[in-house]
Amino acid sequence: MAAPTDEEKAYQYLWRFWRQIPLAVYLTLYDRSWYVRVQVERVEKFAREHEWQRAYGEINHFEEQLHEHGIVVLKFWIHLDQDEQLCRFKEREKIAWRAHKITEEDWRNRDKWDDYKQALKDMVGHTSTEFTPWTLVPGNDKKWARVEIVKTLAQRIKQALEQQSAE
């Protein structure tokens, strides 16, 4: 999701995500989604501390409502170590058709590794719930990470369908 529009900024920050929730039987993938508040907005100081602190409870409530409505929410964090990230950044710069994927902002954010790491620990600690747990995936090996995500996705969808059939 892109940065919020002026219209979206006029509402509570989760409003723009409510508008994007898919109908039943659809699959939607988000990159960062509502977690931007407790990650990027926190580290970059786009949100005040009381705003991102309050967001943990708001996120949990939001996701619990989605769960109660029958929506399966799967949350993955793919973790790279700093050396692997550096290698991938340099590789992207060398390949013309991938160079657009690396920006000055990526390099600047890399300098804030420790801040983002702390924000991640807090995010997972405060928002991994019974209904919407986080799945932390080691990502240095891309193929292994992808297989783990697909396996987890298949297991959780199967569980949800079995639960739905039992009800």
- Residue 84 pLDDT: 97
Asked if residue 1 is part of any domain, the answer here is no
- Residue 126 pLDDT: 98
Asked if residue 141 is part of any domain, the answer here is yes
Asked if residue 10 is part of any domain, the answer here is yes
Please tell me the total count of domains within the chain: 1
Domain CATH number, residue 82: 3.40.50.300
Asked if residue 42 is part of any domain, the answer here is yes
Asked if residue 86 is part of any domain, the answer here is yes
For the segment 9-26, what is each residue's pLDDT rounded down to a tens digit? 899 989 999 988 887 777
DSSP readout, the chain? Answer: --SPPHHHHTS-TTHHHHTTPPPTT-----SSGGGGTTTHHHHTTSS-HHHHHHHHHHHHHHHHHHHHTT----EEEEE--HHHHHHHHHHHHHSGGGGGG--HHHHHHHTTHHHHHHHHHHHHHHH--SSS-EEEEE-SSHHHHHHHHHHHHHHHHHHHHHHHHH-
For the segment 82-95, what is each residue's pLDDT rounded down to a tens digit? 999 999 999 999 99
Asked if residue 51 is part of any domain, the answer here is yes
For the segment 38-76, what is each residue's pLDDT rounded down to a tens digit? 999 999 999 999 999 999 999 999 999 998 888 889 999
Which domain, by its residues, includes 75?
6-166
